[in-house]
Structure 1
Amino acid sequence: MRRKTVSRFAGLLATLGVAAASLMSGAPAFAQPVAGEGEPPMIGAPYNWGMNLQPAAGPIKDAIHDFNSLVLWLMIIITAFVGILLAWVAFRFRASANPVPSRTSHHTLLEIAWTVVPVLILLVIAIPSFRLMYYEDRAPDATLTVNVTGRQWYWHYAYPDQGNFGFDSYPVQEADLKPGQLRNLDVDEPMVIPVGQDIRIITTGEDVIHSFFVPSLGVQKYTIPGRTLETWLRADRPGTYYGQCNQICGQNHWLMPIVVKAVPQAEFESWTASARQRFAAEGPVSPAPVPTKVADAAAATLAR
């Protein structure tokens, strides 16, 4: 009878573990739909009732998903093992079954095991973790470079390989949103990249530390004044990918959305030809401490 009770309890823990893994690993019923043949472009943004990382739009995010799944399964196995062990100890060594408790003070083999096993678990986590960090670091054969500058509180993008033009990217105010645009996430000028190309990202900051973070592309890099940092990204499918500064950089920190638009090569070339003329005609932009577009958006929000 006792064995049946313990067996049922262990089975219940295992079932709960498998159910949790299914939910956390991004089952299709809980995931954002992605673009496929004949479907609209992918939208990389937060979605209602999301229970997992945002769907991957490129190889970096794919690698992050794999690492996340590895750590998740290790956590489930460890949690289930500890739960079953605690239940067995509580049942097996309860006072009614052990009126005279054991006086064992140590067990050499057990002490070696609970030292060596955690070390092995950490190695299992550390090796793919270091590989992922080096993989995210830089692209040796990037086809395009985009310089990203974080400013209070907006982004500046420059394309040195495409005629050395640059432009500022401001959030779209709520009153100006068009159908389909996302509140607090859409911008007037997105960063445009070609699909399927490795894009080198060079970041720097003009005033304080910001963070260039686009979850669906698996990219995050600080923009630090006086320093240049490098990372890379690639979008394997056309779409619009949203991000935000996730570094607390001041009172208008929430007004620093990021939009990366991935388009086919022909469309990208057409956009760069137009952008060279458009932004050259506007001339260089002298950044103000609080740009008018940002100040207006912040004031409108505070007024509500």
Structure 2
Amino acid sequence: MAQWNQLLFQDAASPIMTQLINLHDHALTIMILSLSLVFYMLIYLMFNTLSCRTLLEAQEIETIWTILPAVILIFLALPSLRLLYLMDEISHPSMTIKTIGHQWYWSYEYSDFANLEFDSYMVPTSDLSFGEFRLLEVDHRMVIPMQTEIRLLVTAADVIHSWCIPSLGIKLDGIPGRLNQITLSCNRPGIFYGQCSEICGTNHSFMPIAIEVINFQSFSKWVSLFNN
């Protein structure tokens, strides 16, 4: 969950988000080193009273500052492409959940279970209980088991929506007439919040997403209670 005055990412709750944070730190380190080097060279040239004609016209220097940025881009591109393919890979999902965006609420369908589907609306501020978050709490959370690979299918019934959970590293557009899929996996229990990140109308900011991650035994009990 995000905190006030927070400058960094939310705590990672999935392997993909952990990799995204590592990639961010890797790119930020390279950027700081590059900026420090350029800043040092600028300061040195500003206060340098002597100029070396041979240095300013040397072909070796031009070769270095042409090849070096290309090498830096390779160090940025390779881990980025690796993570991009990991995010798109769906190997052996244990279950499938279909998410449908409406104006302005979400519907969830558990395809592997009979008659397990429900709508998820935001809880009004006047109905919130103590400790619940304003504009983030819903009446029916999407419940999933932890440490389980889940295939998430996202679409929309009216306009384009976007299903986004920052702590899980997931953001997927729901487009009417199209099914987009992504893998979903969470490595620890908890309640994780998100919001529609596509401007979908006047109540765009009032269709939050809440995921409750529990162990597999509790999930089996939840499924049986829901069907009863």
Band the TM-score falls in, shorter-chain normalisation: over 0.9
Structure number having the greater helix percentage? 1
Match for residue 84 of structure 2 among 133, 136, 144 = 133
Higher strand share: 2
Cross-structure match for 2:132: 181
Structure 1 equivalent of residue 107 of structure 2: 156
Q: Which runs of 4+ in 1 moved over 6 A?
A: none
Structure 2: segments with no counterpart, 5+ residues? none
The alpha-carbon deviation at position 58 of structure 1 amounts to: 1.3
Q: Does 1:48 align with 2:38?
A: no
* TM-superposed deviation, 1:126: 1.0
- Determine if the alignment matches structure 1 residue 246 to structure 2 residue 184: no
Point out which structure has higher relative CO (alpha carbons under 8 A, 6+ apart). Answer: 2
Q: What is the percent sequence identity of the aligned residues?
A: 37
**Residues 151 and 184, structure 2, Cα contact 8 Å, conserved in 1:** yes
**C-alpha RMSD of matched pairs (Å):** 1.7
1:268 partnered with 2:219 = yes
Aligned residue for 2:192, secondary structure, equals strand
Per mean C-alpha deviation after superposition, the further-off stretch among 210-219 and 109-118 is 109-118
Q: What corresponds to 2:27 in structure 1?
A: 71
Structure 1 letter corresponding to 2:189: P
Alpha-carbon displacement from aligned partner over 1:193-225 (angstroms, at most 9, x marks no partner)? 001111110111111111110011111111111
Task: Report the TM-score when normalising by structure 1.
Answer: 0.72
Residues 138 and 230 in structure 1, CA contact (< 8 A), matched pair in contact too: no
Taking the aligned partners of 2:45 and 2:205, their CA distance within structure 1 comes to: 50
Matches within 5 A, 1:1-304: 45-92=1-48, 97-98=49-50, 106-277=57-228
Q: Which whole-Å CA distance do the structure 2 matches of 1:125 and 1:218 have between them?
A: 19
Aligned to 1:290: none
Distance 1:185 1:216 in 2: 14
Distance 2:196 2:84 in 1: 20
TM-score (norm 2): 0.95
Q: Is the 8 A contact 1:218 1:233 kept in 2?
A: no
Amino acid in the other structure paired with 1:156: S
How far 1:232 moved relative to its partner? Answer: 1.3
Matching residue of 1:8 = none
In 2, Cα distance between equivalents of 1:255 and 1:80 = 43
Partner letter of residue 44 of structure 2?
W
Which amino acid in structure 2 is aligned with residue 111 of structure 1?
Answer: E
Max radius of gyration: which structure?
1
Q: Is the 8 A contact 1:194 1:262 kept in 2?
A: yes
Distance 2:125 2:27 in 1: 39
Whole-angstrom CA distance in 2 between matches of 1:232 and 1:239: 18
Instruction: Give the SS at the match of 2:75.
Output: helix
What one-letter code is carried by the residue in structure 1 that aligns with 2:227? R
